[in-house]
């Protein structure tokens, strides 16, 4: 059995990837969550429970880079039914306002219950008496309640990284009651936006009939009493200082200049960086940009759009179809607009190291974030943090969590193609003074609410919950 820990993080993926190198079989996978909880993990002899990323791999708990890692085994079937199926083809589209149609399969749900129980058991085994356990995201919504049943002594937090939909949409879910009950096993349930927390409270009232007041939910207990669960917004962020440091590095600045040069030093470089996902509104962005070129409001001699679309969920049918659609659109626009030696869209279906991402952020005059629905959107914050030169303009969809905070961006409704076209033009033509003023305000905001503040806010509330229990 693993050594007991006072602080346990539970997420679908462990913060490491398996390598082929026998001498170094694990490599840290970069990610916001790791940075966010790393200091707390170290202070509290923390453990991390998660899937190592490969099916049918069984590994005993091990220490890596100062972290105690507790791998949960998933079979090939589990990955297909629980992860690709229920998590990514039921919950993901449903919670993103049914942009794509969710699929409801009872066998997927059964696998979701089974795998959630496995995660809850692993967490229960590793948690010390009265430990704090922080569960993350939509793949594990049943873990809080399952864990509470196994270990009534622990304090449980849950953070939801994606949107929580309005009741009329949520109500479609055949297992809507079970999921709410699962989440309510937590003492603190964190959301990205105030609206998400409100949607959750409303679903709880409508489906379970519990009283909710200003983010406090009275959850009935087995002894006939009630306990309080808090449902509140904790907008996630990035480690802004890391991006600032990278953006100041001479080699990365030189790389940014090289990127501009290689694109023919156009008057304006537009940039999109997204996982290739239908929530990100890449198609709407391409449509608006393509029309600006055909209308003659933009010319390929003056502008280039760089679109990084990092590969994602490639075994899920909807994602295969999306890739075809996006690549067809890119091909059409380039075919119509390109001339020899110029290109309208540089489309890159790759993942890049973070250094290269920062060089791209620095090279881009305009960042386009046109998601149709997005929990937060960290790319918007990374772009802002990277602009240590004060330059650049951000076009930001109002349907992202980031829009609540980044109010000095050019706000767009990506469904309104005419409005999106105008917003792109506004960003390209924005006078320098206004650009500077907006970027200063954006940078201030991202610096103030960075990831350390986010985790501190959440964990402070969780600590109050722990103290009020004892
Ligand atoms: C979920 C929610 C919420 C992307 N391509 C590359 C790369 N990335 C990095 C970005 C950014 C991250 O991946 C993507 O984060 P987002 O927030 O934009 O979106 P999701 O992946 O959908 O994340 C979202 C988030 O959780 C956190 O709560 O904001 O709403 O959907 O950090 O930079 N990084 C590198 N190479 C790439 O090619 N290195």
Per-residue pLDDT, 32: 66
pLDDT tens, residue order, the chain (470 aa): 557 999 999 999 999 888 888 888 888 886 667 777 877 787 777 999 999 999 998 999 999 988 899 999 999 999 999 999 999 999 999 999 999 999 999 999 999 999 999 999 999 999 999 999 999 999 999 999 999 999 999 999 999 999 999 999 999 999 999 999 999 999 999 999 999 999 999 999 999 999 999 999 999 998 999 999 999 999 999 999 999 999 999 999 999 999 999 999 999 999 999 999 999 999 999 999 999 999 999 999 999 999 999 998 888 888 999 999 999 999 999 999 999 989 999 999 998 999 999 999 999 999 999 999 999 999 999 999 999 998 999 999 999 999 999 999 999 999 999 999 999 999 999 999 999 999 999 999 999 999 989 999 999 999 999 998 76
Nearest residue by C-alpha to atom 33 in ligand 1:
379
Burial class (CB in 10 A: 0-12, 13-18, 19+), 456: middle
Nearest residue by C-alpha to atom 28 in ligand 1:
161
Distance (Å, rounded) from C-alpha 363 to C-alpha 196?
Answer: 34
One CATH from 3.30.420.480, 3.40.50.12160, 3.30.420.40, 3.40.50.2000 for 5-236+452-469:
3.40.50.2000
Could you give the C-alpha distances from 171 to 119, 164, 174, 210, 414, in angstroms and in order?
A: 26, 12, 8, 16, 26
Q: Let me know: does 148 contact 123? Beta carbons within 8 Å.
A: no
From the CA of 463, how far away is ligand 1's center (Å)? 28
User: What CATH architecture does domain 240-448 belong to?
Assistant: 3-Layer(aba) Sandwich (3.40)
From the CA of 228, how far away is ligand 1's center (Å)? 33
Distance (Å, rounded) from C-alpha 45 to C-alpha 47?
Answer: 7
Pairing outcome for strands 303-310 and 345-348: parallel
From the CA of 332, how far away is ligand 1's center (Å)? 27
Distance (Å, rounded) from C-alpha 283 to C-alpha 372?
Answer: 10
From the CA of 274, how far away is ligand 1's center (Å)? 7
Q: Let me know: does 365 contact 391? Beta carbons within 8 Å.
A: yes
CATH 3.40.50.2000 residue window(s) in the chain? 5-236+452-469, 240-448
Q: Which atom of ligand 1 is nearest to the CA of 236?
A: 28
Pocket of ligand 1 (CB under 6 A): 32, 161-162, 236, 273, 275, 308, 310, 351-354, 357, 374-379, 382
From the CA of 331, how far away is ligand 1's center (Å)? 25
Terminus-to-terminus CA distance in the chain, angstroms?
27
């Amino acid at each position: 059995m693993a050594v007991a820990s006072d602080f346990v993080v539970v997420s679908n993926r462990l913060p490491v990837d398996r390598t082929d190198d026998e001498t170094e079989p694990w490599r840290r996978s970069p990610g916001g969550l790791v940075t966010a909880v790393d200091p707390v993990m170290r202070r509290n002899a923390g453990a991390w429970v998660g899937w190592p990323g490969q099916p049918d791999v069984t590994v005993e708990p091990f220490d890596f880079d100062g972290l105690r890692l507790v791998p949960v085994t998933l079979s090939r079937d589990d990955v297909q039914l629980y992860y690709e199926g229920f998590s990514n083809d039921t919950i993901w589209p449903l919670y993103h306002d049914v942009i794509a149609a969710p699929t409801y399969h009872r066998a997927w749900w059964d696998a979701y219950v089974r795998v959630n129980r496995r995660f809850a058991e692993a967490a229960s085994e590793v948690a010390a008496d009265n430990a704090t356990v922080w569960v993350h995201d939509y793949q594990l919504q049943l873990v809080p309640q399952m864990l509470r049943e196994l270990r009534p002594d622990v304090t449980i937090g849950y953070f939801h990284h994606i949107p929580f939909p309005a009741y009329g949409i949520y109500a479609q879910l055949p297992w809507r009651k079970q999921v709410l009950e699962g989440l309510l096993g937590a003492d603190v349930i964190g959301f990205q936006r105030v609206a998400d927390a409100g949607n959750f409270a409303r679903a709880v009232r409508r489906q379970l009939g519990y009283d909710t007041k200003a983010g406090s939910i009275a959850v009935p207990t087995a002894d006939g009493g009630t306990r309080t669960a808090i449902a509140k917004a904790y907008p996630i962020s990035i480690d802004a200082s890391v991006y600032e440091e990278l953006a100041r590095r001479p080699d990365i600045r030189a790389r940014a200049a090289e990127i501009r040069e290689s694109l023919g030093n156009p008057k304006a470089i537009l940039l999109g960086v997204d996982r290739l996902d239908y929530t990100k509104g890449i198609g709407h962005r391409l449509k608006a940009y393509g029309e600006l070129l055909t209308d003659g409001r933009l010319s390929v001699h003056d502008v280039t759009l760089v679109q990084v679309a990092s590969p994602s969920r490639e075994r899920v049918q909807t994602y295969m179809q999306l890739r075809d659609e996006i690549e067809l659109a890119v091909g059409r626009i380039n075919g119509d607009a390109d001339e020899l030696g110029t290109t309208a869209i540089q489309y890159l279906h790759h993942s890049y190291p973070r250094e290269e991402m920062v060089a791209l952020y620095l090279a881009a005059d305009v960042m386009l974030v046109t998601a149709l629905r997005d929990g937060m959107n960290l790319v918007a914050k990374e772009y802002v943090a990277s602009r240590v030169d004060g330059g650049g303009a951000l076009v930001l969809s109002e349907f992202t969590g980031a829009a609540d905070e980044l109010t000095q961006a050019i706000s767009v409704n990506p469904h309104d193609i005419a409005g999106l076209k105008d917003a792109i033009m506004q960003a390209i033509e924005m006078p320098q003074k206004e650009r500077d003023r907006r970027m200063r305000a954006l940078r201030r905001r991202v610096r103030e609410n960075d990831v350390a503040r986010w985790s501190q806010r959440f964990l402070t509330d969780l600590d109050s919950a722990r103290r009020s229990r004892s």
